[in-house]
Structure 1
């Protein structure tokens, strides 16, 4: 039997192998068997069908990459000032993120993508003069970033959520001096998660590996080496489940498919819901694919009031779907989850549309 088909049982072994030194009080375990996710050894959305489509085993998510955002560049930090205090506050941002997590979960959100190097706080951008990285130039960890990460992961564990943690973001990877620093950053971040005893975390090596990365190890031809590095790190017989993503509409390459525990797709630029279904079908046809979960964890298309949209299309193809929203030109503070400072509540029409459809589909 191949490894990917027994990850559920491996995860069970991992949990039973806990020692007191590895945070045995953790409450949440995420695992995979074939193309289905389990949380605490039960299928997600167990028994749920929606419009004739099975939902159990999927992992609905939202792109919330700025949960531990900061800006170490004194020239650009003024861009993120809160309107009420006229200053940026990284701890406030994380605290407000954590305060809203139970609300997201109440609608059926079981996962969110948090990137350790964030994402563009403008939604999309060419240049990134801000410095948002939890790593030093040599790949050591910055304690203040990981203190904020711990708050988020502790709450996710308490709530029974399984976050997707991205390690790198293009435009910020050049904050690392060289390839050795990238290896150090991966090793240090993954080891930190393992040493804290988290069993509810999925890893995305980097956001959109085929988009503008400086270091070759983060590019499509070699990124599988980092996937394998993550898989090689263990504590008490435990390891983390891992993948990486590509830009919108791109089908993953064979090297990534063979190395990954699950597949991450992006729907940016895919305005026709039928193309979402085609992406899933094409991914299942990539050489080396065997049954494993397919997860959209970024898609900036909405139309949630329409019977056919990218979310419903993904469900019809038995793929998980992830909402990506940012504050567009001249919009107010309540819009978007990627634009900093972030309103982490459900206070815009787009956010309400997503969460209401999420609740309907998942039966929460």
Structure 2
């Protein structure tokens, strides 16, 4: 069969190309990831997360399974302690390498069904748990201004999360580092600057956690349980083009949120640290729903250092059995190798250890990915 060549006038070709470019532009614009909360469910780009998925009789649809990966933008501005975080292969710390390796592994986490992660502008303990924190890890200056290098690293992570349709939980403050801000005015300034930065970059896939464990050793009263709701309301009130961020805060392990936070927050953050019996996880969820001011909203564990992923019932399974999202928290224990843990610095961000594989393999099964 003889092929027939079709010739178009230049004007028509130009119109076709213009139409193609317009189509590409619309596709790119509509491709921006957006998180929504409807009742007690999370939605990404208009669709409930894990749509239609159930596991062993437990509904997964609308949950936001996650991990505590707070050191993604970590750095140490204290020259006396920075050598603690040397990479084993180079013998030195490298903040850009840390973020680049974080970004390089995000698609693997998503492929196992992890849709969210907590990342903090003041990190977490790079030793797992620690009482004293001589290191200086803060994206904020003493007056609450943003440090450019930190925000450049954060942008890399949020851009990739946007591309992958993931929903980061951005924590602003961490106890042990909050005293780096000189006064309450600086704390308020930091909240305003961080939220406005998110707005200016037009992210719509980010949830905000004002501070990690507000009831643990904070220097500034406005970051403590009695007043932290003021910052939740302040962050919610910052709107641009009709859009605002969903905001909450968290408490230490086993602690049930107080009414002032429950009334102000858009979603509830719980921590399972110290909860050694999975049944107690279910109790925490039920107790949270009984707090004064609770309305139907998502309940989300974003920190739990218990594993037992090979058992029939563990904290993760207990959480989803009560229709609450769950977050994996793992740090390198004494004597363990570089591949262990996601909070201890330097971090191996790959799915490298037996614990990491246990979590991600179970998550993949539960999520149906």
| Fold agreement, TM-score > 0.5 | yes
**CA distance in 2 between partners of 1:89 and 1:122 (Å):** 17
SS at match of 2:63: coil
Partner of 1:35: 40
Do residues 150 (structure 1) and 150 (structure 2) align? no
Aligned to 2:9: none
Correspondences of 1:124-139 after superposition (within 5 Å)? 124-139=129-144
**Deviation string, structure 1 residues 234-268 (Cα, Å, up to 9, x no partner):** 11111100100000000000000000000000000
Describe how 1:93-242 pairs up with structure 2 within 5 A.
93-242=98-247
SS in 1 for 2:103: helix
Mapping of residues 59-70 of structure 1, within 5 Å: 59-70=64-75
CA root-mean-square deviation: 1.0
C-alpha distance after superposition, 1:126-182 (max 9, x if no partner) = 000000001110000100000000000000000000000000000000000000000
5+ long unaligned stretches in structure 2: 1-24
Distance 2:29 2:225 in 1: 37
For the pair 1:344 / 2:367, whether they are aligned, the reply is no
Does 1:92 find its partner at 2:97?
yes
- Is the partner of 2:119 in helix, strand or coil? strand
Give a deviation string over 1:322-347, Cα, whole Å, max 9, x none: 00000001000000000000000001
Is the counterpart of residue 302 in structure 1 residue 294 in structure 2? no
Residues in 2 aligned to 1:316 and 1:141: alpha-carbon distance in whole angstroms: 40
Runs of 4 or more off by more than 2 Å in structure 1? 23-26
Matches within 5 A, 1:7-26: none
How far off is 1:25 after superposition?
6.7
Distance 1:323 1:134 in 2: 24
Partner of 1:188, secondary structure, is helix
Give the number of aligned pairs: 343
What are the ranges of 5 or more consecutive residues in structure 1 without an aligned counterpart?
1-19
* Rg larger for: 2
Aligned-partner Cα distance in 1 for 2:362–2:29: 36
Residue-by-residue CA offset, 1:64-112 (whole Å, 9 max, x unaligned)? 0000000000000000011111110000000000000000000000000
